[in-house]
């Protein structure tokens, strides 16, 4: 059987890291018919749309996307590509697992970090509703709805229950935004009551940020509205080695798009030193979503083995290898694991 997947190579380091992830997935032996959907600032400027129809059509056909970062052109007033995609396909849940990697030296190497961030993906301050009331006075609308808040909370709790996780922490600023974050919290509490087996707690976002740095190992599942989710994701990425290693999934009822947390990193684009780990782990999430657990485990284990070996790591995580060398090492490790059989993580 062969799957159809939309591959969006993006721009900046996108083409390098997505090509590496594609090769690593193909090495697992899972048959994928990749449908390439090009999307970059040139195409956006030419079509006049941040999300041209050919990309939507492809994702509608396949239902699954592996997406590299795409830069939204600064001029022209385009909405962010990611925001447009998430809204258009109603990809309401942004899921980001943040885990320590074996052998990787970070400031937090002495603790085991293993948390999963559930970020609401469709509203909050990302509603794009900004208004200049009078000259030099601007408002930006924060939209929080019951429907979206319950949906993300249910997704987080169901995941926690099915993955054997113990705790969910809802993160908010309801002491200041009493109505908006207050509604988000009420929804989280209601959903928490339906899942008594999962320990539920609430943390104000500023305290949560400090706790994440002081004692990151205490966190299990984090549940956040859109903006706090964005900021806390980068903070959490910093605990485990940076943006190069944290993957993500955008999930809706009908579609799923997998992408790294990082952007197009123009500062290192074309230098052959970008770290494809985050894209490869996003592909692991994609394989799991497709029901290909054994291939997902093999790829995950292969990447972890390259980290344990330490010899083929990219500069962002303290190594001297290039993207190509790292990728070859992962592919070799996938092949080894295929002979030896998968070890579940
Ligand atoms: P965006 O606003 O699109 O999310 P950003 O401004 O947050 O992007 P990134 O493009 O994510 O920025 O890059 C932030 C920093 O992290 C840059 O210095 C970049 O080189 C580095 N970086 C990001 N991704 C990677 C990667 N895969 N490998 C190595 N370094 C990376």
The model's pLDDT over 82-133, given as tens digits with 9 standing for 90+, comes to 989 998 999 999 999 999 999 999 999 999 999 999 999 999 999 889 999 9
Is there a contact between 172 and 181 (Cβ–Cβ < 8 Å)?
Answer: yes
**CA count, 13 A, side-chain hemisphere, 134:** 0
- For the annotated catalytic residues, the residue numbers are 126, 173, 206, 230, 234
Does the pLDDT of residue 345 top 50, yes or no? no
249-251 sheet: strands from edge to edge: 32-36, 3-8, 64-67, 256-259, 249-251, 93-99, 114-120, 221-224, 167-172, 199-204
CB 88 within 8 A of CB 280: no
List the residue whose alpha carbon is closest to atom 14 of ligand 1: 265
Does pLDDT of 344 surpass 70?
Answer: no
Cα separation, 111 vs 160, whole angstroms: 21
17 pLDDT band, cuts 50/70/90, is very high
For 72-189, strand residue ranges (E) read 93-99, 114-120, 130-134, 137-140, 167-172
Residue 275 CA to residue 270 CA, distance in Å, equals 12
Q: Output 150 or 341, whichever has higher pLDDT.
A: 150
| pLDDT score, position 339 | 56
Atom of ligand 1 nearest to the CA of 265: 10
pLDDT value at position 323? 98
Structure confidence at residue 145 (pLDDT)? 97
State residue 206's pLDDT score: 98
State whether the beta carbon of 268 lies less than 6 angstroms from ligand 1.
yes
Q: What distance in angstroms lies between residue 137's CA and the mean position of ligand 1's atoms?
A: 32
**Token pair recorded at residue 78:** 């385009």
Nearest to 64 by CA among 37, 84, 82: 37
| pLDDT tens digits for range 36-94 | 999 999 999 999 999 999 999 999 999 999 999 999 998 778 888 998 999 899 999 99
* Confidence (pLDDT) at 337: 64
Check residue 24 and give its pLDDT. 98
Instruction: Give residue 241 CA to ligand 1 midpoint distance, Å.
Output: 12
Protein residue closest via CA to atom 1 of ligand 1: 263
- pLDDT for the residue 74: 84
Upper half-sphere CA count for residue 163 (Cβ side, 13 Å): 18
Q: How many CA atoms lie within 13 A of 81 on its CB side?
A: 30
pLDDT at 343 over 50: no
Three-class SS of residue 340?
Answer: helix
* CB 278 within 8 Å of CB 245: yes
Query: Among the residues of the chain, which ranges form H helices?
Result: 14-27, 41-47, 53-62, 81-88, 146-162, 180-193, 205-214, 226-239, 277-289, 293-309, 323-340
Average pLDDT over residues 259-279: 96
Query: C-alpha angle with apex 273: 270 to 275, nearest 5 degrees?
Result: 115
pLDDT tens for 209-250 read 999 999 999 999 999 999 999 999 999 999 999 999 999 999
Cα 282 → chain centroid:
7
Ligand 1 touching residue 233 (CB < 6 A): no
> Cα(153)–Cα(159) distance, rounded to whole angstroms?
10
Chain centroid to CA 335 = 26
Whole-number Cα distances in Å, 327 to 4, 18, 69, 216, 337: 23, 11, 19, 30, 15
Nearest-CA residue for ligand 1 atom 31 is: 244
Report pTM.
0.93
Q: Is 316 in the pocket of ligand 1 (CB under 6 A)?
A: yes
25 vs 103: which has the higher pLDDT:
25
* Nearest atom within ligand 1 for CA of residue 276: 27
Q: What is the pLDDT of residue 106?
A: 93
Out of 262, 274, 316, 321, mutate this one to test ligand 1's pocket (max ligand atoms within 8 Å of CB): namely 262
Atom of ligand 1 nearest to the CA of 315: 29
């Amino acid at each position: 059987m062969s799957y159809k997947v939309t591959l969006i190579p993006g721009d900046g380091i996108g083409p390098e890291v997505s090509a590496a992830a594609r090769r690593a997935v193909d090495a697992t032996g899972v048959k994928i018919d990749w449908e390439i959907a090009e999307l970059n600032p040139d195409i956006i400027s030419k079509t006049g749309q941040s999300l041209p129809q050919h990309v939507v059509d492809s994702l509608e056909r396949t239902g699954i996307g592996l997406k590299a970062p795409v830069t939204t052109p600064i001029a022209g007033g385009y909405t962010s590509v990611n925001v447009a995609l998430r809204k258009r396909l109603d990809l309401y849940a942004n899921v980001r697992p943040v885990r320590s990697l074996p052998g990787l030296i970070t400031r937090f190497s002495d603790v085991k970090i293993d948390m999963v961030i559930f970020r609401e993906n469709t509203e909050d301050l990302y509603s794009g509703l900004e208004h200049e009331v009078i000259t030099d006075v601007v408002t930006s609308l924060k939209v929080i709805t019951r429907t979206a808040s319950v949906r993300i909370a249910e997704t987080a709790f169901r995941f926690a229950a099915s993955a054997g996780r113990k705790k969910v922490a809802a993160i908010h600023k309801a002491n200041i935004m009493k109505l908006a974050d207050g509604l988000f919290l009420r929804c989280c509490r209601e959903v928490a009551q339906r899942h008594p087996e999962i320990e539920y707690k609430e943390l104000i976002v500023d305290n949560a940020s400090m706790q994440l740095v002081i004692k990151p190992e205490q966190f299990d599942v984090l549940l956040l509205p859109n903006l706090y989710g964005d900021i806390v994701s980068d903070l959490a990425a910093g605990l485990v080695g940076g943006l190069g290693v944290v993957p993500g999934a955008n999930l809706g009822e009908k579609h799923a798009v997998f992408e790294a947390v990082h952007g197009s990193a123009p500062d290192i684009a074309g230098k052959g030193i970008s770290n494809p780990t985050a894209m490869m782990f996003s592909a692991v999430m994609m394989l799991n979503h497709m029901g290909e657990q054994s291939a997902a485990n093999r790829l995950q284990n292969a990447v972890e083995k390259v980290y344990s070996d330490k010899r083929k790591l990219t500069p962002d995580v303290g190594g001297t290898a290039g993207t190509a060398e790292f990728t070859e090492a992962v592919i070799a490790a996938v092949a080894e694991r295929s002979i030896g059989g998968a070890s579940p993580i």
